Amino acid sequence: MQRWIEACGAGQSPDDLEFRVILPDGSVRLLSGRGKLIYDTENRPPYMAGTVNDITDRKRAEEQLQASREQLRALTGRLHAVREEERTRIAREIHDELGGALTGMKVDVSFLIKSSEMIKNEAVKASLITGIDALNESIDATIQTVRRIAMELRPGVLDDLGLVAALEWQLKDFQKRTGIRSEFLHSAEDIGLDADLSTGLFRIFQEALTNVARHSDATEVHVRLHSEAGSFILEVEDNGKGIEKEKILGSRSLGLLGMRERALMFGGHVTVTGIPGIGTRVTVEIPPGEKGSMDRVRGGENG
């Protein structure tokens, strides 16, 4: 109460001044006061007028909301991680098991070709070889499909060669599939980030590209990867119609929300801007620091 009166006296606007009171039964309540001093003709404050609200329940609800937001965020992070582990496992299994079986078939086929050459009857030999060739081709096509499926589940290049190579590969594939001209600029030869951050950035990148293909009507996309004052920055810019303002934070924009949540896991953030007729830019910034980029950078600009 004293603080309130002092605040009023100091000429501050004491709106919503919060204070704690301890009731006779020992319980603590949070109050919010709002008031003003009334001055007499000699400019002295003879009394004050105002209201005091008990905001204990509102405060508690706010704290609970904040806590449940944090829990949701942690849950989302865990879901991403589990999903990524699962995808990696399935990709490996498909690659190793199916890939292995198909390679075995190739060996059998080459044995068949050799054996069939010993057949005396030319007509039988020719038709057999035609059949074997067709089989061989379909095995090759299946090997390609298996590779593609494994790659889409979890690009091995991300684990083997790192983020830069994976982004490059993804962008080339994107250009091939969509015909949208793509350019990739990066200021570091080999930015070796830790696996979680690489995966997070890669998935954000994939979502950004999917959006360009699906919504932008762009003919070009420019991707830049660089570090600035220790922060790690990834930009995807298209020359399409430009995202509408209300879509940027729209409740249905779950893809964009997912990008933000992923960046937030590393203390970073995503900025989306659109100019009608000029294009859309998605910028992901991961700051340095405890969970930030510099600890994670093995290579960096100088090495």
Ligand X SMILES: Nc1ncnc2c1ncn2[C@@H]1O[C@H](COP(=O)(O)OP(=O)(O)O)[C@@H](O)[C@H]1O
CB 199 within 8 A of CB 84: yes
- Minimum CB separation from Mg ion for residue 241, in Å? 15
Residue 247 binding target from Mg ion, ligand X, none, CB below 5 to 8 Å by type:
ligand X
- Scanning residues 156 to 185, which ones bind ligand X (CB under 6 A)? none
Judged by CB under 6 A, the residue of 162, 240, 268, 292 near ligand X is 240
Least distance (Å) between residue 169 CB and ligand X: 21
293 lies in the site for Mg ion, by CB under 5 A: no
In sequence order, the 6+-apart residues with CB closer than 8 A to the CB of 225 are 163, 164, 167, 184, 185, 186, 187, 188, 191, 233, 234, 235
Which stretch, 91-99, 134-142, 198-206, 252-260, contacts ligand X (CB under 6 A)?
252-260
Interface residues for Mg ion in 247-276 (CB under 5 A)?
255
- What CA–CA distance (Å, rounded) separates 135 from 140? 9
Locus of tokens 């379909």: 138
Nearest-CA neighbor of 192 among 303, 270, 290?
A: 303
Please identify, using beta-carbon distances, which residue of 180 and 193 lies nearer to ligand X.
Answer: 180
Binds ligand X (CB under 6 A): choice among 212, 225, 286, 297: 212
Q: For residues 155 and 1, what is the distance between their CA atoms, to the nearest angstrom?
A: 63
Q: Work out how close the CB of 112 gets to ligand X at its nearest, in angstroms, rounded to a whole number.
A: 49
Q: Is 241 in the site for ligand X (CB under 6 A)?
A: yes
**Cα–Cα distance, 235 to 184 (Å, whole number):** 10
Helix (H, G, I), strand (E, B) or coil at 79: helix
Residues in contact with ligand X by CB under 6 A are 211-212, 214-216, 238, 240-241, 243, 247, 253-256, 280
